[in-house]
Amino acid sequence: MPVVDISGSDADFAADPYSFYARLRAAGPVHRATVYADEFEPSWLIVGHDEARQALNHPALSKDWRTSGQFSDALVTAANANMLESDPPHHTRLRRLVARAFTGRRIEALRPRVQQVTDELLDAMAARPERTADLIAALAFPLPMTVICELLGVPDMDRERFRFWSNEIVAPTAASADGSAHRALSAFLAELVEAKSKAPGEDLLSELIRTRDEDGDSLSPDELIGMAFLLLVAGHETTVNLISNGVRALLAHPDQMAALRADYDGLIDGAVEEMLRYDGPVQNSTYRYAREDLEIGGTLIAAGATVVVSLASADRDPGRFADADTFDVRRAPHGHLAFGHGLHFCIGAPLARMEGKIAVRSLLERFPDLAEDPAGGPPVWLGGSLMRGVTRLPVSW
């Protein structure tokens, strides 16, 4: 089987990975591919929707790279002690403890604050005399950044420094090939956990420190660092791209924007789900590791192999979605895999959905003539094949 290489993400692929994935799906649901630049050998890339759902929840596919035998010399920090990089029963324990603090009631209580932060950011945009802005710098980044930091109880920190760390972790460049961004964020969070342990507040991180299971179990210091790491990075990075990709889709489909503007109450929920399906923030999953031989989509995957699930491809599979390449805010809002599937389904999905709905609706209501900035230049895509999005989104009004 020939090996495809998407690790470099050249300009044509970055601009339209979906045509490439469509050709792969037409040839079969499972392929050999080099997905990430650090691969020692090609992975199995799952591109079909049904096969992706199967792989995302397959008991023979592990998420714990430390037991895979493939990365013996890889950097390990306390930040790695998180749910995304663990398997049952350890994952089950971590998720149960976190769920006790990260409740639906706590998330819903954030709604007024999310709206307030959004309105303040849009006020600042509206005050710009040039009537242009980079929507990522003006709204899509600071909104989830502010919300997740306040939720966790992270004191005001240098956001540009954090943005650099986070971007380098999810879309690494030569600037942090040595893992320096990972180490720096882990060290920052270690200091934060220690400070919260000594002087807890009403924030989520303090609640996680206090949380005890019925049998007295609690999160260790490393597990607290790992959870803060996961919630901070995943809790803002994905929402940045949900908002920016969603607005890009609306700007590219004025008929859909007009439909949404005509019926916010009836369509905003489904519109955000369609944004997630059509051009979601996470293009491909992180690695899974075959603990034993298994078969997916008629392909034998040998024990020890790495597996990557293409969420972007699965959510454009015409076998699951009619007119899959059509952006339709009236589409029935169910079935996409943008937040994963199974036991690793994104625990922050309700918060991301809330932020996406409030941000998009408020933006369109405030700026009825929002458009792409004609002087903004061509898009610059995020590097690598993990995240899907642009580094800037110039708009005008």
Q: What pLDDT, in 10s, does the model give residues 194-206?
A: 989 999 999 998 9
Band (pLDDT 50/70/90 cuts) for residue 95 is very high
321: domain range?
3-396
Condensed to tens digits (0 to 9), the pLDDT of residues 136-171 reads 999 999 999 999 888 888 876 666 777 788 778 877
- Average the pLDDT over 95-104 and give the result: 86
Helix (H, G, I), strand (E, B) or coil at 219: coil
Phi and psi, residue 339, nearest 5° = -100, 15
Among candidate residues 280, 240, 244, 247, the one with its CA nearest the CA of residue 371:
247
Q: Among the listed ranges 241-245, 325-329, 383-387, which one has the minimum average pLDDT value?
A: 383-387
CATH code of residue 306: 1.10.630.10
Band (pLDDT 50/70/90 cuts) for residue 174 is low
* Burial state string for 162-190 with b = 16 or more CB within 10 A and e = fewer than 16: bbbbbbbbbbbeeebeebebbebbbebbb
The answer, as to whether pTM is greater than 0.85, is yes
Query: What confidence score (pLDDT) does residue 39 get?
Result: 74
Burial label for 202, CB within 10 Å (0-12, 13-18, 19+), is exposed
Amino acid at 181: A
Burial label for 349, CB within 10 Å (0-12, 13-18, 19+), is middle
- Average the pLDDT over 129-141 and give the result: 97
Supply the mean pLDDT for the chain: 91
pLDDT at 279 over 80: yes
Domain count for the chain = 1
Query: What confidence score (pLDDT) does residue 214 get?
Result: 66
Q: How far apart are CA 80 and CA 65, in angstroms?
A: 10
Query: What confidence score (pLDDT) does residue 69 get?
Result: 65
Q: How far apart are CA 134 and CA 381, in angstroms?
A: 14
Query: What confidence score (pLDDT) does residue 77 get?
Result: 73
Is residue 68 within 8 Å of residue 291, measured between CB atoms?
Answer: no
- Average the pLDDT over 204-231 and give the result: 85
- Two tokens, residue 92: 């089950």
pLDDT at 251 over 80: yes
Band (pLDDT 50/70/90 cuts) for residue 270 is very high
Query: What confidence score (pLDDT) does residue 154 get?
Result: 83
pLDDT at 24 over 80: yes
